[in-house]
Structure 1
Amino acid sequence: MINLKVSPEISLVDEPVKIQVSGLQPCQKITLRAWLKDERGKIFHSQAFYVSDMEGNVDLENSPATGGDYDGVCPMGLFWALKPSVPFLRLIKRDVIGSPFHIHLELYSHLEFNPFPKNPPATTVCIERWYASPGVQRLPIRHGRIRGALFIPPGKGPFPGVIDLFGGVGGLIEFRSSLLASHGFASLALAYFGYDDLPKTLDHVDLKYFEEAVHFLTNHPKVSGAGVGVIGVSKGAEIALAMACFVPQVMATICINGAISVTGQNLSYGNLKVRGIPYQSEKAIITYSGAFECARIYGDPTDPENQESRLPIEKAGSPIMFLVGENDQIYDSVLYGKLGKARAEKYGKKDVYLRCYPGAGHLLEPPGSPLCPVSLNVLSGMPLMWGGELVGHCKAQEVSWRETLNFFRTNIPCSQQNKL
């Protein structure tokens, strides 16, 4: 009797899952398939081929895939390779508290080349992948100008606080904050345009808005109030770096694939005005798939004309870590990271760290998230190339997530009795 064992069957999305098959014939060729339906009803799917050993077993921790969406030993490959059935979709969990993703794992006792098989599988298991651990609270935030959602871990607290920023898609994206709360951080998923009564588009960056969010979080009774961490990706990384440079309550900053200059929109902080390096949209490259590669549109940060737009990283009073995908096709993130670290060292700032990940693209997300090399930018209406190679990118997500948690645990002040 064929047995498909998946453990655990209920887990956080950033936790590894073991997949084992027994009861096969020796050297039997099989197909393993995974699929889920997102909150819009869209299907994401993956499949891989395996050959059982002489005992009739397949263990994804040791057995190599022989084809399909990936090759070789890849224990989480079925999750990493989930891709949309409709082009240019990105898998994003919206309701991070109320429901999990239900991932269906199917076994076919032959090589099944049809990505949507007509015949039923030999056996199937449905597992739950959650974005928040039991007891995490989600609090909608409308405080002064601040709009977002605060995620509080279970327990008495106080907890180290983190402000979580995404990029040019706008709106409110919560899945990273809910996972941070699952690991003991009070995390504020902060919207700054395209949400609620905030501006529909980002025409100007007012750093006072983000400083207001810092003050809100440090004053929250569940947050240890000495200071907060900030994490941002893309445009959010640029804003996170600006916060590190100018807002003294920022104690630790993680910039994921972002610029070290102000780009596009001008930035202000009270009387301080910083010109954004104008976008050069004509330098975008259209790929064979019709998607846009944008790494050349942000201007040259080393051009003397753009020096006034460089963020003064040497003024940051706390550590900064750049997480960089070497296959990022939105920014030249490797260049930005190296320039940022070099400028810090020039001025004697030694707590700036650069982590580069071969094969990783722009959308470095928590582990278990599938590679998304291209998707539609809802703001521009254009598909954008994010970059990334399946194994390199998804391994980078595992490593960078561990480094993120350790960096915040080390550098954000918290009361001793609750220090993580």
Structure 2
Amino acid sequence: MRIEISPDQPALDTELRIRLTGFPPGETVRLRASQPGWASEANFVVDADGTVDLARDAPVAGSYEGVDPMGPVWSMRPADDAVGDPPELTLSASGVATTVVRHRIPAGLVRTEVTDGDLYGVLYHPEAAANLTTAVLLCGAEGGIHEDDAALFAAHGYAALALAVYGAPNRPPTMKDIPVEYFARALEHLSGLPVVNPGKVAFVGGSKGGEAALVAGATWPGIAGVVSIVGSGVMTQGIDQSIFTGSFLDIVTTPVPNWTQGGKPLPFVPNVVTPEVEKAIADGEPVRLRDVFEPGLSLDILAAATIPVERISGPVLLLSTEDDGGYGPAFHQVAADRLAAHGRPHEHVVYAGAGHLIAAPPYTPTTVSIGPGPGVRFRHGGTPAATAAARADAHRRVLAFLASL
């Protein structure tokens, strides 16, 4: 009896081929997937040829339903000692086990830290490469950079810059009064690198980073395309204090501009704290950020705060989720309507049943939809299965978008 996993040196975003071979035909076997602090279990009936193939067979019981090659991975649930996304994945059944290391930073990449003036980021690209399509990856309200995500994109043959907007060296400590000129300086820096094709630089962001990507693209014509994942076509309120130490109510009730241009603040839709949100906070219930964002769409400032996305030079990909606990699809629909009215190339995809957390790399657990916030818990929304499917499809779409530039 064997458990086969291929390929044997996968990246974190690689769909695995998982097969059980040599097992007694007709018997039910329990397949357990685990990584430190996480585990799932699913029962399969062995085929007449002694195999179980996860690309062919659905479990008869367990942590997920239907045929899904990566079902055991995304359906893992955490224990009290869960430690993020460790690279080692172990599969076991009937006393047989095998382990594969899923690499967050694949081999064959060059890593360069970017510290040019007020710029900060980490650039990855394949070795001995030149003139590459380049993705600039922008984080959300958590700040900092996701350099491992840049590495995963680079492993597909692109240059990828994880660019800090705030909360990193050389950058402001909070998301307040960020000059949009910063994005132009990032473009200028990239255009001087032999590895980068300056005519094929796309901005890609998730959540608040999706808003940032649309703002950058609408401001600087050198950007060849924009991807906004669960982001906003409207400029929303900034953050004037650390999201890790400040009070949630203080943060959301302090209307500060996120963006400036020419030293002047750009208009924004402020948050609105309703009595329902205040009650949820007082009762210790999880809070949806969407509930403080969406009321702003009915304010008079909306027209001035809407991002002029029709100025984006290239195509725009908007990825939304139906049960987003963050912005919600209405914020992308504002951009989609504006792009359509001006005949600009775009696509707006809304994933049914999925929640906010689809900007993460695919094939990671999606069973936790409530996470920590500044003195509160956030409800991100979505079912595990729908969010997992949306993550995987969103990743494929972003890669296809980059290939099309």
Equivalent position to 2:167, from 165, 190, 194: 194
Q: Which residue of 1 aligns with 2:75?
A: 81
* Counterpart Cα distance in 2 of 1:131 and 1:219: 28
Q: Who is 1:91 aligned against?
A: 84
Shift in Å, 1:289: 8.9
Write the deviation string for residues 37-60 of structure 1: whole angstroms up to 9, x where unpaired.
Answer: 3xxxxx122221222234443221
Q: Quote how far apart the aligned CAs of 1:272 are.
A: 4.9
Alpha-carbon shift at residue 303 of structure 1 (Å): 3.2
Letter in 2 for 1:313: V
Distance 2:285 2:337 in 1: 36
Query: Which has the larger displacement, 180-189 or 303-312?
Result: 303-312
Gaps of 5+ in 2: 239-256
Offset of residue 271 of structure 1: 4.8
1:155-203 CA-to-partner distances (Å, cap 9, x unmatched) read 2312112210110111221222111111111111011222234333222
Matched, 1:269 2:261: yes
Write the distance in 1 (CA, Å) between the matches of 2:18 and 2:64.
16
Match of 1:359 in 2: 353
Provide the C-alpha distance between the structure 1 equivalents of 2:211 and 2:280, rounded to a whole number of angstroms.
25
May I ask how many residue pairs the two structures share in their alignment? 381
- Extract unaligned runs of 5+ from structure 1: 38-42, 94-100, 110-121, 412-420
What is the rounded CA distance, in whole Å, between the counterparts of 1:91 and 1:291 in structure 2? 21
Show the counterpart of 1:104: 90
TM-score (norm 2): 0.87
Please point out which of 126, 134, 138 is paired with 1:161.
Answer: 134
Are the counterparts in 1 of residues 177 and 265 from structure 2 also a CA contact under 8 Å? no
For the 8 Å contact 1:246–1:315, the answer to whether it is kept is: yes
What SS class does the counterpart of residue 391 from structure 2 fall into?
helix
1:69 aligned to 2:68? no
Instruction: Give the whole-Å Cα distance in 1 for the aligned partners of 2:195 and 2:138.
Output: 20
Distance 1:51 1:372 in 2: 25
Distance 2:163 2:83 in 1: 20
* Deviation, structure 1 residue 313: 1.4
Aligned to 1:226: 199
Over residues 4-45 of structure 1, what are the superposed CA-to-partner deviations in whole Å (9 max), with x where a residue is unaligned? 2222232112222121123333332222111223xxxxx122
SS in 2 for 1:300: helix
Deviation at 1:274, TM superposition (A): 1.5
Describe the shift of the 1:55–1:135 C-alpha distance in structure 2 as closer, same or farther (beyond 3 A). Answer: closer
Q: For structure 1, which segment, 223-232 or 391-400, has the greater mean C-alpha deviation from structure 2 after superposition?
A: 391-400
| Residues 164 and 230 in structure 1, CA contact (< 8 A), matched pair in contact too | yes
Counterpart contact for 1:10–1:127, Cα < 8 Å: yes
Q: Equivalent of 1:323, from 319, 324, 327?
A: 319
TM-score using structure 1 length:
0.84
Note if contact 1:161-1:223 (Cα within 8 Å) is conserved in structure 2. yes
Provide the residue aligned with 1:345 in structure 2.
Answer: 340
Indicate the percent of aligned positions where both proteins have the same amino acid: 25
CA-atom RMSD in angstroms: 2.3
C-alpha change, 1:86 and 1:168, in structure 2 (3 Å) is: farther
Q: Runs (4+) of structure 1 moved beyond 6 Å?
A: none
Q: Quick check: which one's strand share is greater?
A: 1
Deviation string 1:250-281 (CA, Å, 9 cap, x unpaired) is 11100000111111121211155312222224
CA distance in 2, matches of 1:245, 1:210: 11
Find the partner of 1:369 among 364, 368, 380: 364
